[in-house]
Amino acid sequence: QPCELGNLASYLIDVRSAEDVTGGIMFSREQNIRLVIKNTGHDYAGMSTGKGGLSLWTRNLGSTQFIYTYESSYYNGPAIKLGAGVQGFEAYATANTTGQGFVGGVCHIVAIAGGFGLGGGHSILSNSHGTGSDNVLEWEVVTMDGRHLPEQNSNLYWAPSGSGPGTFTVVLSMTARLHADGIIGGANLRCNWEFYPFT
């Protein structure tokens, strides 16, 4: 019995640079192969699987950079630049060493610049600081025609913000504002439905 891949992509590129993404996009177009973008694979809808396609795996874009003073016409202050593969726990650790915090998800294994920011970025800090995508200052992307856009681009800035993973562009990194760290309280509620029957 031969091995079957099921719903998984047939081809994979372990993305380490913008050139890897550009090459994957061009190959996918030339060969008419479905293109999917996969990060950590934390996707309940299964959009990162892409049966028979070419998967651009961005998990290894794992750089983090603390920016002491980000300066623009709309924000001046501390920021953090995260590669697309940086997971929540890695980003929190980097921010915490500087006494700063950022709007991130409760599930610490989701990639911040990947699915979290692209999905809107709902957080327990959203009431205080807005959603994750509200806090994005820059997206570094490769467009579907293979152009690497490492700088700000006002025409594309809003496209990735909350559009959903794998939509419009391939994200390489994002830069987000930071907030002064503080005390956060929370609670979990668990119910045993055995004692509360639905009748």
**Residue 120 located in a structural domain:** yes
Q: Is the pLDDT of residue 1 over 70?
A: no
Q: What is the chain's length?
A: 199
| pLDDT at 158 (0 to 100) | 66
Residues 87, 53 share a domain: no
Q: What is the average pLDDT across 164-180?
A: 85
User: Higher pLDDT residue, 189 or 79?
Assistant: 79
Number of structural domains the chain divides into? 2
Mean pLDDT, rounded, of the chain: 85
Residues 127, 78 share a domain: yes
Q: Give per-residue pLDDT as tens, 59-69.
A: 999 999 999 99
Q: Give per-residue pLDDT as tens, 30-46.
A: 999 999 998 886 777 77
| pLDDT at 152 (0 to 100) | 67
- CATH number of the domain where residue 40 is located: 3.30.43.10
**Residue 193 located in a structural domain:** no
Q: Is the pLDDT of residue 174 over 70?
A: yes
Lowest mean pLDDT among 49-53, 173-177, 191-195: 191-195
Residues 151, 128 share a domain: yes
**Residue 198 located in a structural domain:** no
Residues 154, 79 share a domain: yes
- Read out DSSP for the chain? -----TTS-SEEEE--SHHHHHHHHHHHHHHT--EEEESS---TT-TTT-TTSEEEE-TT---EEEEEEEE-SS-EEEEEEEETT-BHHHHHHHHHTTTEE----SSTTSBIIIIIHHTT---TTHHHH--TGGGEEEEEEEETTS-EE-S--HHHHTTTTTT-TTSSEEEEEEEEE-EE------------GGGS---
Q: Give per-residue pLDDT as tens, 131-165.
A: 888 899 998 999 999 999 887 677 777 667 666 66
Residues 39, 68 share a domain: no
Task: Please give the model's pTM, rounded to 2 decimal places.
Answer: 0.85
- CATH number of the domain where residue 117 is located: 3.30.465.10
Structure-block tokens of residue 177? 């504002």
Q: What is the average pLDDT across 68-77?
A: 93
Q: Give per-residue pLDDT as tens, 92-118.
A: 999 989 999 889 888 888 889 877 887
Domain range for 81 is 64-180
d(CA 174, CA 35): 22
Q: Which of 41, 57, 73 marks a domain boundary?
A: 57
CB distance 95 to 101 below 8 Å: yes
**Residue 195 located in a structural domain:** no
User: Higher pLDDT residue, 40 or 1?
Assistant: 40
The model's confidence at residue 21, banded by pLDDT at 50, 70 and 90, is very high
**Residue 188 located in a structural domain:** no
